[in-house]
């Protein structure tokens, strides 16, 4: 009997001796027995033999200590004080050139510049703009690698180096394939009667245990105002050789200025790679009274097939370096503290 039929019969009949059964879904009469493990506090800790990846019961986390921020936070002045270098920087070059005084433009000139900029007619010569190259060179650690920590100098002589259409600036990338031939070098004439010495050095290309850098090209005693071919080629040109897996190599063109000819030049062997190793701080220290760095430019290069071909042509094998990763860190499991504690201190 359905509930609808029962409701229709009730007003006409006496109270039934028992409540009639109403149609409803079947409900289970028994609870399935899951074993005693279902009633343990934690079945993974008490009975875990059946679990394939058994885990050990983690240790209790020690109570965290509340840190007083006043003892650990510092002001901005204290932060800048800690950022100061331990030793002062030493300028080993010439005094910077005086910068031309910029003239104040009139309202009409500023309006004309704004009109050209809005119509995309304003041309800016990048050679005349001020570029803080010193900070870029310091960022890449070129000065520290060549002359030691805390040393620097300012470019006071124009040095233009280019591989065809690819000029060398301050850290730009040039492929190794482009550097297979000598670059075009133009040195600014500063004072007649003086000399220049150009050194091309790879700061990251020494694979031997002997300390120093690989000299890829060295031309000494270049007369002021003359072409680089007029100088004395101490080390023949060799393209940069960044080995496979060693990443980017910093290749610098370093220009020294001196009033007299250099007689005590390093004796290097151009035929072998190991014979080109020279410790630049030692070379500079030996000729410190005669030479002064006047300009620097550098680029970055990486491995390609031309490096392998050049090494094989020199009778050397092309090494492959692989990065050795540290083993994966597997921290021990720790139980979360029972009491609420701060998480950001």
Which residues pair with residue 38 across a beta bridge?
Answer: none
Residue 170 CA to residue 255 CA, distance in Å, equals 14
Mean pLDDT of 206-233: 92
What 3-state DSSP class applies to 275? helix
Q: Rounded distance, CA 71 to CA 134, Å?
A: 37
**Distance from C-alpha of 229 to C-alpha of 187, rounded to nearest angstrom:** 12
pLDDT, average across residues 259-281: 89
The three state secondary structure string of 44-103 is HHHCCCCCCCCCCCCEECCCCCCCCHHHCCCCHHHHHHHHCCCCCCEECCCCCCCCCCCC
Q: What is the mean pLDDT of the chain?
A: 82
CA distance 292 to 155: 11
- pLDDT mean over 274-280: 91
- 318, containing H or E segment: none
**Sign of the CA dihedral with 122 first, then 127, 131, and 137 last:** positive
Mean pLDDT in residue range 88-94: 85
Integer CA distances (angstroms), 339 to 11, 61, 68, 333, 334, in order: 63, 11, 20, 18, 14
Residue corresponding to tokens 């921020």: 69
What confidence score (pLDDT) does residue 310 get?
93
- What letter would DSSP give residue 327? P
Q: Assess contact for 200 and 174: CB atoms under 8 A.
A: no
Burial class of residue 68, CB neighbours in 10 A (0-12, 13-18, 19+):
exposed
The reported pLDDT for the residue numbered 128 is 66
| Domain range annotation of the chain | 58-95+140-321
Q: Please say if the pLDDT value at position 222 is more than 90.
A: yes
Tokens representing 336 are 């979360």
Q: Domain 58-95+140-321 class? A: alpha beta
Confidence of residue 46 (pLDDT cuts 50, 70, 90): very low
* CA separation for the pair 21, 6 (Å, rounded): 10
β-bridge pairing 195-202 and 213-223 = antiparallel
Residue-wise pLDDT for 169-194, tens only, equals 999 999 999 999 999 999 999 888 89
> What does the angle CA 282 – CA 149 – CA 205 come to, to the nearest 5 degrees?
60
How far apart are the C-alpha atoms of 114 and 105, rounded to whole Å?
Answer: 12
User: Which candidate, 230, 213, 194, places its Cα nearest to that of 268?
Assistant: 213
pLDDT the model gives residue 58: 54
């Amino acid at each position: 009997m359905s509930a609808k039929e029962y409701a229709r019969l009730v007003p006409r009949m006496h109270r039934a001796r028992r409540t009639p059964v109403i149609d409803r879904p079947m409900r289970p009469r028994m609870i399935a027995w899951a074993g005693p493990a279902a009633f343990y506090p934690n079945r993974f800790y008490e009975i875990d033999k059946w679990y394939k990846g058994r885990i050990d019961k983690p240790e209790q986390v020690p109570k965290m200590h509340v840190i007083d921020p006043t003892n650990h936070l510092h002001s901005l002045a204290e932060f800048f004080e800690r950022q100061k270098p331990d030793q002062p920087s030493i300028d080993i070059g010439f005094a910077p050139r005086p910068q031309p005084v910029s003239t104040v433009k009139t309202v009409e000139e500023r309006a004309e510049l704004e009109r050209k900029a809005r119509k995309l007619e304003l041309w800016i010569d990048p050679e005349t703009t001020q570029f803080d190259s010193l900070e870029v060179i310091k960022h890449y650690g070129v000065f520290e690698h060549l002359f030691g920590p805390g040393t620097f100098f300012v470019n006071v002589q124009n040095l233009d180096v280019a591989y065809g259409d690819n000029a060398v600036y301050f850290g730009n990338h040039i492929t190794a394939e482009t550097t297979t031939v000598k670059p075009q070098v133009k040195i600014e004439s500063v004072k007649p009667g003086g000399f220049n010495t150009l050194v091309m050095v790879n700061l990251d290309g020494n694979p031997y245990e002997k300390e120093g850098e690989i000299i890829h090209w060295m031309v000494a005693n270049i007369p002021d105002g003359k072409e680089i071919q007029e100088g004395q080629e101490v080390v023949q040109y060799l393209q940069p050789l960044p080995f496979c897996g060693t990443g980017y190599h910093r290749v610098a063109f370093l220009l020294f200025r001196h009033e007299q000819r250099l007689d005590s030049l390093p004796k290097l062997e151009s035929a072998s790679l190991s014979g080109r190793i020279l410790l630049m701080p030692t070379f500079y220290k030996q000729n410190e009274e005669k030479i002064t760095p006047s300009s620097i430019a550098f680029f970055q290069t990486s491995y390609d097939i031309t490096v392998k071909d050049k090494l094989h042509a020199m009778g050397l094998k092309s090494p492959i370096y692989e990065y050795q990763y540290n083993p994966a860190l597997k921290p021990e499991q720790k139980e979360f503290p029972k009491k609420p504690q701060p998480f950001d201190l």
